[in-house]
Amino acid sequence: MKQVYKLNTESLEDPEIFFSFYEKLSKKRRQKIDGYRMKKDKLLSLGAGILIDKGLETYGLREINVRIAEGKYGKPYFPDYPDIHFSVSHSEKMVIAVFADTEVGCDIEYMDSVNLELAEKFFCKSEYEFIMRHQEQARKEAFYRIWTIKESFVKAVGCGMMLPMDEFNIKIGRNIQVEQHYNNEEYGIEDWQEGEYHAALCWNRQQRGNRMEEKK
């Protein structure tokens, strides 16, 4: 089971609406929001809290009452609810969150300029070649498609940037496949474009409990 939630932070720019949601969230989330100087970052952090609260509500829980910890490499999880997995991502004005019964990761990126040097240096050779087969706008979309899928995968496995981007390969055809040797498990992938944003979702096909070690 997977459920994706989306939010455009433009809806939170009204101060009355902002504080109506802010007051319903946990002290930890409010402190995180308050720690940002830029309005944009405050809105994104509030949006993340709202979507976490929305996802937990389907399990009969609320964000204000649920403890969130971080795994060894910084991935957030619910230590008191090991069967509920989630991931959050945001970019510019969009926030997405996914809840699932198996390990999961998501990523969303605003499709700005394309850094082909980054792709050539850090992506697998076949991924770079996939991008370069496209022209102009389609090349930008191909770049962000690979980027978001790779980001969602490292979030799903919980290793963050500790896993180099060129040590696993994204193959895009009729189906999307992840060729990887990080573990022996299989992952499902979904991705989509929404206006000027591209997003991806990755999940472990084998349902299991949360095995992450809490960050000290």
Query: Reading across the β-sheet that carries 85-91, which strands appear in turn?
Result: 2-8, 94-100, 85-91
Instruction: State both tokens at 50.
Output: 């709202």
Residue 67 has pLDDT above 60, yes or no: yes
C-alpha to C-alpha distance for 120 and 146, rounded to whole angstroms: 12
Of residues 11, 90, 7, 10, the one with CA closest to residue 54: 7
Residue 39 has pLDDT above 60, yes or no: yes
Instruction: Tell me which H or E stretch contains 100.
Output: strand 94-100
Give 196's strand partners: none
With respect to CATH, is domain 106-204 assigned 3.40.1110.10? Answer: no
Length reported for the chain = 216
Domain ranges (residues) in the chain: 2-101, 106-204
**Mean pLDDT throughout 76-101?**
97
Of residues 100, 71, 77, the one with CA closest to residue 4: 100
Of residues 170, 164, 2, the one with CA closest to residue 87: 2
At 161 the pLDDT is 77
Residue 210 has pLDDT above 80, yes or no: no
Residue 91 has pLDDT above 90, yes or no: yes
**Mean pLDDT throughout 45-72?**
97
Of residues 57, 98, 58, the one with CA closest to residue 204: 98
Residue 209 has pLDDT above 90, yes or no: no
| pLDDT digits 0-9 by tens, 179-198 | 998 898 999 999 999 999 99
**174 falls in which pLDDT band (50, 70, 90)?**
confident
Regarding pTM above 0.85, the answer is yes
At 216 the pLDDT is 34
Q: What angle do CA 64, 38, 32 make, to 5 degrees?
A: 25
For the chain, give the mean pLDDT: 93
Domain 2-101 and domain 106-204, same fold? Reply is yes
Residue 22 has pLDDT above 70, yes or no: yes
Of residues 95, 148, 90, 94, the one with CA closest to residue 119: 148
| pLDDT digits 0-9 by tens, 113-138 | 898 999 999 999 999 999 999 998 89
With respect to CATH, is domain 2-101 assigned 1.10.630.10? Answer: no
